């Protein structure tokens, strides 16, 4: 049965599939300790759903198995560069793309074993047998992936697939089917600490410990308020996310391009025109980024991030729009735009500059 599931998963575009017992993973306690230190920042939903995250049986009553799937996402030609948009976000929204494949897999699974067979629902019970998530439910995906043998959690706290590096999305199906678990993956970081050295804000405070309150991905994606001024220069050109710790991992030498995501690549997110992005009104923002991960920022936080980047890059051609944004009624946008204007002006370079300045990935 397991090999049939793996084969069907490959047919649907997933690159790896493993099986773990639907029970609290050994790293669940570390997650609880992380929350107690407040390292989640504003992500209070993590604390609120912690009991369910730590025990899959609280998510799906009667769950016996977690089927964990991975899909690689490295965009073409993006192995050696960073860019304004994190690599994972240069496609249509992965929740939708992987979600469609996951739904197909669940539909296929739901046709098998019949009620009364091992793992099947009892006749007339109406029992729900499957619950699927693509970063959308209270599940510790990385911990379950390690238990399912897909890869190991690296010192940067992300999952590393030995055969593919760390450029991979995860999806989980909890099921009442009882399937033998795979052997857990062993950690293979060794003495390497490249990810710790690569973090621009030292958000990886120690091996296997990440403080989201210093993480640039957190500040450009999750945080709702002002980006701390002391962290703004470290943003560099990052409008959405940060890949530095991931890019530093030596296991990426085995990374390959994405199969599932390739048809959904958004090339315009690889070499954006930042000055043009700053000029987008709310309607233009929705049109430009609809169906991509950037859509979740909403317009005001997108402008917040873009203003900081314009200031960091000294885009003098963007000064008129930054000055206009600094007079906005929204204090979040106005404050970050004013900061960018002051940062650019402090460099003392004449205003003559490009009207349109693209930032290449």
Q: Kindly write down the DSSP assignment for every residue of 272-320, as one continuous string.
A: -BHHHHHT--HHHHHHHHTTSGGGGGHHHHHHHHHHHHHHHHT-GGGHH
What pTM was computed for the model? 0.90
Domain residue ranges of the chain, discontinuous segments joined by +: 2-175
Distance CA 38, CA 144 (A): 23
Q: Give the residue from 21, 17, 27, 6 showing the smallest Cα distance to 140.
A: 27
Average pLDDT estimate for 84-97: 96
Catalytic residues: 135
Judged by DSSP in three states, 227 sits in coil
pLDDT higher than 70, residue 51:
yes
DSSP strand E in 101-161: where? 130-133, 152-153, 159-160
pLDDT digits (tens, 9 = 90+) for 183-242: 999 999 999 999 999 999 999 999 999 999 999 999 999 999 999 999 999 999 999 999
At 126 the pLDDT is 62
Quote the crossing angle between the two packed helices 331-345 and 298-313, to the nearest 10°. 10
More confident of the two residues 347 and 348: 347
Please, are residues 38 and 170 in contact by the beta-carbon 8 Å criterion?
Answer: no
Res. 361: pLDDT tops 70: no
pLDDT in tens, 15-37: 999 999 999 999 898 999 999 99
Q: Is the separation of the CB atoms in 359 and 83 below 8 Å?
A: yes
CA atoms within 13 A on the CB side of 360: 3
pLDDT of residue 113: 56
CB crowding 5-22: b at 16 or more within 10 Å, else e: bbeebeebbbbbbbbbbb
Question: What are the pLDDT digits (tens) for 239-296?
Answer: 999 999 999 999 999 998 889 999 999 988 988 889 999 999 999 999 999 999 999 9
The pLDDT, as a whole number, for residue 310 is 97
């Amino acid at each position: 049965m397991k090999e049939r599931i793996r084969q069907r998963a490959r047919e649907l575009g997933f690159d790896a599939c493993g099986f773990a017992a639907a029970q609290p993973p050994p790293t669940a306690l570390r997650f609880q300790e992380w929350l107690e230190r407040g390292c989640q920042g504003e992500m209070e939903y993590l604390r609120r759903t912690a009991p369910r995250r730590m025990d899959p049986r609280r998510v799906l009553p009667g769950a016996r198995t977690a089927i964990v799937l991975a899909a690689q996402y490295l965009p073409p030609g993006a192995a050696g560069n960073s860019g304004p948009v994190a690599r994972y976000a240069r496609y249509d929204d992965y929740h939708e793309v992987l979600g469609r494949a996951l739904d197909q897999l669940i539909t296929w699974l739901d046709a098998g074993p019949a009620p009364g067979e091992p793992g099947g629902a009892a006749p007339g019970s109406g029992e729900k047998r499957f619950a699927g998530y693509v970063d959308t439910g209270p599940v510790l995906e990385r911990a379950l992936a390690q238990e399912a043998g897909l890869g190991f959690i690296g010192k940067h706290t992300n999952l590393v697939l030995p055969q593919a590096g760390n450029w991979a999305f995860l999806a989980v199906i909890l099921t009442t089917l009882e399937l033998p678990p795979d052997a857990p993956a062993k950690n293979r970081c060794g003495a390497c600490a490249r990810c710790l050295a690569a973090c621009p804000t030292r958000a990886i405070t120690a091996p296997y410990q990440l403080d989201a309150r210093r993480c640039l991905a957190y500040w450009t994606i999750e945080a709702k308020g002002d980006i701390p001024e002391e962290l703004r220069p470290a943003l560099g050109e990052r409008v959405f996310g940060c890949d530095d710790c991931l890019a530093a991992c030596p296991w990426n030498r085995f990374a390959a391009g994405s199969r599932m995501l390739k048809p959904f690549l958004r090339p315009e997110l690889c070499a954006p025109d930042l000055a043009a992005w700053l000029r987008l009104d709310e309607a233009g923002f929705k049109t430009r980024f609809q169906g991509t991960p950037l859509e979740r920022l909403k317009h005001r936080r997108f402008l917040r991030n873009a203003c900081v980047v314009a200031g960091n890059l000294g885009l003098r051609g963007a000064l008129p729009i930054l000055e206009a944004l600094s007079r906005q009624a929204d204090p979040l946008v106005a404050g970050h735009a004013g900061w960018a204007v002051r940062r650019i002006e402090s460099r003392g370079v004449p205003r003559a500059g490009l009207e349109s300045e693209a930032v290449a990935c």
